[in-house]
A and B are shown apart, each in its own frame.
Chain A
Amino acid sequence: MITAYKSDGGVNFKIKVVGIGGAGGNIVQRIYLSGLKCETIILNTDAQALSKQRATHVIPIGKSITQGGGAGADPDLGRKAAEESLYEIHSKTQNADLLIIVAGLGNGTGTGASPVVARYAREKNILTIGVFTLPFNFEGKKDISLRAISEMEKYLNTTVVIDNNMISEVVSMDSSVKEAYGLVDTVVKNCVESIINVVQEFSDVNVDFNDLKATISRGGLGYFAKGVAERQEDVKNAINDVLFNPLLSGVSINDVKGALVNIRTNGDLKMSSFDEIMDQIRKHMPEKAALKYGLQKEGDSSVKSYAEIYFIGTTGKKTSDSIVDRITSKQRNLANLDLPPGVRKNKK
């Protein structure tokens, strides 16, 4: 069933986006430069990388452990760095109504420090979403990334996983490497933008922070997407961008148990387009899934497009088929099986 209601609006919720490590920092810098209404924080062990980055707060972490030289692809060092700098992290993230952690997994700082920040947020009862990218297969770091995700699932309300390996599925082979990498950054930025738009942008038919809270509190893997139709004839493509987001790993719109859709427009949006958007989204979600939407009838001067569709969905699945089957199978403690179980127990 689709429900909608109008709220009073006007309340500003504190959304803080934390980019951890090199990749997380780059994405958060993009968000900062794009002018999205949120506070941005970059945490990194690499002082040189930090010196080139811009955000509301740029915080070097683990100075005494890494001397600002980076975590050297060692997640353990990244973890210790975050633990050492927990006070600084606390001072910049406290009072957040919603925390979004963004990191590229596979190397030291993102993989090691992200679980520390996620755990801290859970301890402080901050609503937290993690948006992570998985490394390319050739990097050989998928296992440590999946282990980090598995750990963070305990702390995060919702986890969005973007698989770099799927880039080749969505970009043409003629695309430059820069474009391909830029696409991942864009997808992450879109995820964050979807969240901010849902709660910060007031609409005539509104979804608000409590709706977001209810949706992402279902937990598990998230399915976030954005589709933009510059003109009326682009609506189908925009819907497709929402329905099929191949970079998101382990989930599809079919898995979504609850979702928020926010549609922004320059004021030209036709009823037929609105119907088509909602109808197609509804059709592709499971029958019993909850769906709420926000819509501007009048149009927004800051929106140039015919329609911008933001979709935030959660699956409630603590573990997703394709991602977690691999995680858990790797997690099994199957080492030293040649030793008797009793001997192994004693060694522990």
Chain B
Amino acid sequence: MSENFMVVDFCSSKIVLFLAELGPELKIKNWTPIPVDQDTIRSGQIYNLENVASKIRKGIEETTGKSRYEPADVYIGFSDPEVEFLSSIGMAACGTPDNPSEITEKHLDQAITSSRAVKLEEGRVIVQTIPVRFDVDSKTDIKNPKGMLGVRLEVKSALITAKKSSLLNFKRALEKAGIYAERFAYQPVAEIFELPSEEEKENGILIIDIGRDLTNYGVITENKLQLAETLPVGGIHINKDLKHYFNITIDKAEEIKKKYGQLTFSETEDSEYIDLNMGSMKTNKIKRDLLVKYISERLSEIFEFIKERLIQNDLKDKITFIKITGGTSQIEGIEKLAEKIFNITAEVYTPSREIEKLTGNYDIPVLNSLCSSLAILLFAHRNLTSGVSYSADLSVMKNVKGIFKKMFGK
């Protein structure tokens, strides 16, 4: 019988639980989306640990049908504007110039481990290590150096570093719900690996996922991870802007954003008013062109931030396509705005291809807002089945787990 693994993805507006079978095919056994408010999770951080733990406990019961459940492996998906993306070079000596030797798994591991030897700011840990490129002696850019003969193996790794305290909060919340997790996956990394096709990854692609209060983005070119970051801004900021300008509530702002939010409004219709149906409220009608303007301003700013980062990292001219996803990507015309700012073809991406990869009897709706969770699920499955993983060094928590084991025999 195959073992099960679980994915707990902390999104900006929900926690998504997946229970799946660990086999060559990704078979979903069950899944549960758990909505969370901004007092519980904000900017990718847990603000109410008890509430998160209780919601996850309930979600696990719904997903597994049991109050206590111990999957073989658990992946935590997370996003955090304070994550830092670093590059580092590691090396391993394999032989001498006169006697080059075969590069083995051990050498790969040594080189990757040495690439992790970077000085981090206090309180930070490396969450993920992704080998980007291998060089053997003077031969560069080797996809798989294993088995080659050489003197010196080098690896360039992408390191995802995060604040230890934030990660420990995710772990603690899960532990309180009876689940022990060791593995983390940063959402922008999972999305950039799992959402594009192989051809897109080779040609260079930017993925932007605009969630409630966070925007994840990642770049992959020539099949190499180049950038993965998070901005502390998302759809909720559009609501706040509309609240500010139109003197309406956040809920009303969300409603009109969903109903009338669009970026392809033509100039000729600029006299059109939207009736807010707010009875005797002071602002009952708003001009449609102003609504377009304010939404456009916020989204333009997000895209401009990302464009600036691409320029800073010399990536702007290396991407050929943009995919925009996440809950906020459903604003009509968002891809046109992105095309105007980046001067690159863009599309709004719905995760139908990812859902087709899944087997099992559970229907998962094709929603843009599920992109990151599906990407984490696919990423976790890929890593667990290939056996490649470098987990975060959260030694404090390992000790806590030991204590829990002693106390509860768990």
Contact = CB atoms under 8 A, between A and B. Distances in A.
Contacts of B232: 334, 337
Given A279-B97, A334-B232, A340-B298, 8 more contacts: A254-B135, A325-B84, A328-B313, A329-B84, A334-B231, A337-B237, A338-B240, A343-B244
A289 to B, nearest CB: 11
15 contacts: A137-B122, A169-B119, A252-B89, A283-B137, A321-B88, A325-B84, A325-B85, A325-B313, A328-B313, A329-B229, A332-B305, A332-B308, A334-B305, A340-B244, A340-B298
B138 A340 contact: no
Contacts of A339: 244
Nearest to A339: B244
B199 interface: no
Contacts of A286: 140
Contacts of B240: 338, 340
Nearest to A166: B119
Given A329-B84, A329-B229, A254 B122 contact: no
A326 interface: yes
Q: Chain B interface secondary structure, helix, strand, loop or mixed?
A: mixed
Q: How large is the interface on B (under 10, 10 to 19, 20 to 34, 35 or more residues)?
A: 35 or more
Interface in A296-325: 319, 321-322, 324-325
Interface in B160-209: none
A325 B87 contact: yes
Interface of B: 81, 84-89, 97, 118-119, 121-122, 135, 137-138, 140, 151-152, 154, 229, 231-233, 237, 240-241, 244-245, 294, 297-298, 300-301, 305, 308-309, 312-313
A67 interface: no
A250 to B, nearest CB: 10
Contacts of A340: 240-241, 244-245, 294, 297-298
Contacts of A163: 119
A235 B60 CA distance: 63
B89 A254 contact: yes
A219 to B, nearest CB: 14
Contact of A342 (B81, B138, B297, B309): B297
Given A283-B137, A322-B86, A332-B308, A337 B119 contact: no
B237 A321 contact: no
Which 4 pairs, one residue from A and one from B, show the smallest C-beta to C-beta distance? A321-B87, A340-B241, A341-B301, A341-B297
Interface in A256-287: 279, 283-284, 286-287
B215 to A, nearest CB: 11
Interface in A136-156: 137-138, 142
A342 B86 CA distance: 33
A319 B301 CA distance: 24
Q: How large is the interface on A (under 10, 10 to 19, 20 to 34, 35 or more residues)?
A: 20 to 34
A325 B83 CA distance: 11
Contacts of B231: 334
B347 to A, nearest CB: 25
Contacts of A284: 152
A332 B309 CA distance: 9
A178 B276 CA distance: 72
A304 to B, nearest CB: 30
Given A319-B312, A340-B245, A340-B298, A165 B119 contact: yes
Nearest to A142: B121
Contacts of A334: 81, 231-233, 305
Contacts of B84: 325-326, 329
A66 B87 CA distance: 41
B376 to A, nearest CB: 23
Nearest to A330: B84
Contacts of A326: 84, 86
Nearest to A323: B86
Nearest to B117: A169
A287 B138 contact: yes
